Structure 1
Amino acid sequence: MNRFFRQLTKKKISHASKEDQVKNPKRITKDLASNIKVIKGQLGTSHDMIYREMTIGRERGLSGILIFINGLTRQNVLDFNVLKRVMYEDMHDQKHLMHYMKKNILTVADIKEVACVEDVIKAVLMGKSVLLVDGFDSAYEMDTREWKDRDVKEPITGSVVRGPHEAFTETLLTNTALIRRRIKSTKLTFELMTVGQYTQTDLVIAYIKGIAKDKIIKEIKKRLKKICIDGIIDSGYIEQFIEDEPFSLFPTIGNTEKPDVTAAKLLEGRVAVIVDGSPIVLTIPYLFIENLQSSEDYYTRPWYASFLRGIRVLSLFIVIFLPGFYISAQTYNQEMLPTHLFITMAAAKEGVPFPAFVEIFIMSIFFEVFKEAGIRMPKYIGQAVSIVGALVLGEAVVEAGFVSNPAIMITALTGIATFVIYSLNDSITILRFTFMILGAVGGLFGILVGTIFLLLHMVSIKSFGAPYMSPLAPRSHEGLKDTLMRFPLWLMRDRPGIISNNKKRLNNKDKKNTSI
């Protein structure tokens, strides 16, 4: 019993000590040697961790130390703007030396005074430099960060013919600058957070004050603060932690690598989450209709943009329903096909040993294998694999009598249609196989039942309070101007009310400026 109470007391004391450390973090003392000992005990002595000891000023003779990580800092700035000036300049104001150095000696743009050891550790790990001086109980945190980053290039996904050809990179400051370049407003806000116990990954919450809803912003911050994980490597980690429907097939958080798309969504009232080290930016809330929209729709004339959206809707139905319908028509519902078409398909299937479901299922699996191989293999080899898989192997299996020509055609058409709406690639791939099974088990009746359950699920989910199927369900008259059809921009006067605080997009009273 005594042992139990002793252990319980120890746990309480250790828990209380941890709380005290959080509430009362260790402060920097005036003894430089003790500060260095504490900092080295936490940062360690890795080969890239630099502890540059020096003498402050020509005449003063005080000791100081500059702490930074080699490879994450601009070496020329440290040499000429910090070390050279601190070591060789005359320090006239000895009483207020730290203040004097900030005002007159250090020629670094971003300097911040810190008083806690924890802040020093965090700054160094972020790539900043920290200067400590003997006899003073504070330090200077200087933003001298620099590392090799990728140039701004064309996006891999969402390429356009007309419109900006810029894509986000893996550098956080570059990505925020690309957005700031497009939205030159004082209302544009970037809030910095850190997530990940070991990686300490920086992320930025971007929104426009007065347009984005405060309720959505608070909810995003709340969910981000609840993330407890050892590391965040990409924005995909964040997406899985904060999404509304983690078990749904449909994404409730958008993602894009195009700055113009992000800027447009911010102007509609959405919130963007930019993660350092990831070229993919998350946009919240995310509606289903956004999968059928493209940035180029708004850069071209509305009639052609509406036609392209019709093509995307047709592609969506082809991917999900065409294989299942073919299986059901071959197996149960032959009366649904015209007589001549059915005779032609039956003749093509003559001699094939497998039923329609097995044909389509095998070819669909083969297509997924070729697609995955084309993505993962080196660029030029991947193209060769795709050509061999599509032409040589496809023709070989038909001549061998394993599958029929209609099955090859259905699989190829479905595969090509998948790339038209690539943002839904994950969802519609699973749905395609699901409706294939339903068509094989229950024919058209099975497909109908599956469609009903699918629609019920889609209208029941939400994205941060916004109905996923909006503005179709619930219907919004203003929102319908930018759904299956894209109205002229001068007619889309309001923002989506479900997402935005400020509904008015056009403040002028004129419907259209026709003056010459």
Structure 2
Amino acid sequence: MFANWLRSKTYMPPPETNQPAATSMPLFATLQENILYTQQCLGFSADLIVREFNSNAIVEPIAVLYTDGLVDPNVINDFIMRSLMTGSTVDDAEQDPYHLLRTHALTIGEINQVNDLKTMLHHILSGDSVILIGGCLLGIAASTKGWKDRGVTETSVETVVRGPREAFTESIRTNTALIRRKIKDPNLWVESLLVGSVTQTDVAMMYVKGIAKESLIDEVRSRLNRIQIDGIFESNNIEELIQDETLTPFPTVYNSERPDVIAIELIQGKVAILVDGTPFVLIAPALFESFLKTSEDYYHRVDISTLVRMLRYAGFFIALLAPSLYVAITTFHQEMLPTQLLISLANQREGVPFPAFIEALIMELTFEILREAALRMPRSIGSALSFVGTLVIGQAAVEAGIVSAAMVIVVSITAICSFVFPSYDLSNAIRILRFPFMALAASFGLLGILTGLLGLAMHMNSLQSFGVPYLSPFAPLELDKQNDTLFRFPFHMLFSRSRVVHASNVVNKKKKNVRS
């Protein structure tokens, strides 16, 4: 629903201007016409560099066009200008000048043919240098990209104790290279396309041919090609436009900034979507159990990995239901508490003027405000704000009689459990659902919580991610995949892929005893 509305509202045709629009018309016959057309299309921008000169290889004049700041000047000087201006003269003067430059004069590695005006402008604005020849209807686009990027650094969001620490960057070509370092298989295919009528953002699909289901690849490709929007600036823009159109707080597209995580998902038969300009790579389809896993689970021993994974599932229910259970029990079901605990809670709430629901609502809203403030504040004072919010304000609220000490403990445990999830998107879904469950608990007690859980289970069972049930392999139940869900079995027992994701290649590895 929201994705359809976004597609219809955000796409606007380019406004009419006096300058020529980029079309797929062939190049002009004269060099000056091509240069003037390019300058007019770019509004005679100051960062458009046009260098005209003569070459020893051919008699016709040559022009090199590129965008300053997007290219590497050393590559242009050493492999284009020097090759063309100081190179030796070719004896065969009657040969086609385009062929002469392409085969004899240029020493640069990657070159592409340019045969229309739209392609020429795209190469110029993408960091390539376009070489035009007087009287020739073909041009040459040389790869000279050289803008400054952040480089490969340590992960800042998905931290690890043991495992690779490299993270994706904002360069899509660097990101594809990081994945290829993990998977050196010729069946790892990459498909590129441009998304955004104005931004012309580079988007790439990566999948392992023969493992990923063909219908899944076609569906992802089809959804990407259907996007009609002016600009794409982050992978979340793509995520909102291609996700299954269901009103839900749960994420149905997975994202990660770690190459090893994406590599693991690719060999499980999923499709990766890389967007230029962002270090977060999307994975489709996304299953609920994927948001409670980390690649680090496979880098530690089986016992500790299983324990940590079970703690995450427990943390999911604590973060979702802890405030609701406190409100329901203290309001409707006091008989469930031991006598001493009930007396202690009654003493704490003796001076509190609000019912338990309002008390929990105040504390939860206060924590959410502090959480957002700490994220937006400068790093130098963000930690100080967290310290003041958690200790000073909480202690002052208890001493002032606004909230009870037990409520502060419950909200603190809830907050801690919300940070247990490896995925920040799942944590956001729990933050949203916590408030309806508190309202149900305040209205109907434990019956309201059970009703809410039943509705939540029905809702999650109805979700799909690119045609795959969201709760698989729990529902529909796949017994042979339970060795890598709530538990993490040893590697020699992890030999199958999920059948709901894959068509035929469901064998992950051969069952062979490597110890013999």
Please give the range of the TM-score, normalised by the shorter of the 2 chains.
over 0.9
Residue of structure 1 equivalent to 2:494: 492
* CA apart distance, 1:39: 2.3
- Distance in 2 separating the partners of 1:404 and 1:27: 76
Gaps of 5+ in 1: 1-20
2:509 alignment partner in structure 1: 506
Indicate conservation of the 8 Å contact 2:168/2:279, yes or no. yes
CA contact (8 A) 1:245 1:252 kept: no
Partner of 1:418: 418
SS, match of residue 203 in structure 1? strand
**How many percent identity over aligned positions?**
42
What is the letter of the counterpart of residue 70 of structure 1?
A: D
Any idea what SS the aligned residue of 2:445 has? helix
TM-score, scaled relative to structure 1: 0.93
- The whole-number CA distance in structure 1 between the counterparts of 2:422 and 2:415 is 11
Which residue is 1:478 aligned to?
A: 480
Aligned to 1:92: 91
- What is the CA distance between 1:303 and its match in structure 2? 1.5
Q: Please, which moves more after superposition, 174-183 or 369-378?
A: 369-378
Counterparts of 1:208-219 in structure 2, within 5 Å, are 208-219=208-219
Q: CA deviation at 1:422?
A: 4.9
1:27 matched to 2:4: no
For residues 379-419 of structure 1, give each alpha carbon's deviation from its aligned partner in whole angstroms, at most 9, with x where no partner exists.
12000000011111111111111110001000111001100
Q: What letter matches 1:444 in structure 2?
A: L
Structure 1 SS opposite 2:458: helix
Deviation at 1:81, TM superposition (A): 1.2
Report the counterpart of residue 386 of structure 1 in structure 2. 386
Tell me which amino acid in the other structure corresponds to 2:502: S
In the aligned structure 2, how far is the partner of 1:29 from the partner of 1:150?
A: 39
Q: Distance in 2 between matches of 1:61 and 1:257?
A: 51
- How far apart are residue 339 of structure 1 and its match? 2.0
- Greater shift, 337-346 or 70-79, is seen at 337-346
What is the deviation of 1:246? 4.4
For residue 108 of structure 1, give the secondary structure of its aligned residue in structure 2: coil
Contact kept, 8 Å, 2:39 with 2:48, in 1: the verdict is: no
Contact 2:464 / 2:470 at 8 angstroms: preserved in 1?
yes
Mapped pair 1:71 → 2:69: yes
Q: What is the SS of the residue equivalent to 2:194?
A: strand
CA-CA distance at 1:76 after TM superposition? 0.9
User: SS where residue 152 of structure 1 aligns?
Assistant: coil
Superposition CA RMSD, Å: 1.5
> 2: CA distance between counterparts of 1:133 and 1:245?
50
The one-letter amino acid of 1:484's match is L
Inter-partner Cα distance in structure 2 for 1:324 and 1:113: 64
What is the rounded CA distance, in whole Å, between the counterparts of 2:92 and 2:44 in structure 1? 34
SS at match of 1:248: coil
How far does residue 343 in structure 1 lie from its aligned partner after superposition?
1.3
Deviations 1:338-384 (A, max 9, x none): 22211111111111111111111111111111111111111120000
The one-letter amino acid paired with 1:69 is: T
Name the residue aligned to 2:433: 431
Spell out the pairing of 1:251-330 with structure 2 (5 A cutoff). 251-330=251-330
1:92-129 Cα deviation digits (max 9, x unpaired): 33322221211221111001112111110111111111
* Contact residue 240 and residue 246 of structure 1 kept, 8 A: no
Question: 1:164, 1:245 → 2: CA distance?
Answer: 35
The whole-number CA distance in structure 2 between the counterparts of 1:390 and 1:245 is 38
Measure, in 2, the Cα distance between the counterparts of 1:54 and 1:345: 87
Deviation at 1:478, TM superposition (A): 1.7
Measure how far apart 1:513 and its partner are: 1.2
Unaligned ranges ≥5, structure 2: 1-20
Maintained 8 Å contact 2:24/2:119: no
Partners of 1:139 and 1:404 lie apart in 2 by 75
Counterpart contact for 1:352–1:401, Cα < 8 Å = yes
1:43 Cα deviation from its structure 2 partner: 2.6
Structure 2 counterpart SS, 1:30:
coil
Tell whether the 8 Å contact from 1:345 to 1:406 is kept in structure 2 after alignment.
yes
Give the AA of the match of 1:386. Answer: S
